[in-house]
Amino acid sequence: MAADCKGTLEELERFLDQELPEGKFAEVMGHLRTCPDCQGVFDFHGELKRVVRTKASSEEMPAGLMAKIEGCFGDDWLA
């Protein structure tokens, strides 16, 4: 694996979450435009994040779940 690929893949999650500084973001973007292998990994991770976000946002919390969670921490868990 090339050093550019390794660096890009190490930053991929932060890139997808738009948490990289502007210069680093541009660097990763430039590499993804020229490297089909890293682009494939990027596409996979991007789609995985999209599916998880969609599934997580479409599910309703079961009735009583919040009360059970609060019960595990006691009355002063928000203090």
Per-residue pLDDT band at 78 (split at 50, 70, 90): low
Half-sphere exposure of 42 (CA within 13 A, CB side): 22
- Has residue 79 been placed in a domain? no
Residue 25 pLDDT grade (very low, low, confident, very high; cuts 50, 70, 90): very high
Asked if residue 7 belongs to a domain, the reply is yes
Rounded mean pLDDT of 35-48?
94
Residue 72, classed as helix, strand or coil, is helix
Report the number of distinct structural domains present in the chain: 1
Does a structural domain hold residue 59? Answer: yes
What share of the chain in percent tops pLDDT 70?
89
Rounded alpha-carbon distances, angstroms, from residue 5 to 1, 30, 55: 6, 11, 30
Structure tokens at 7: 């660096």
- In the predicted model, what is the mean pLDDT of residues 3-10? 89
Task: Quote the pTM value.
Answer: 0.64
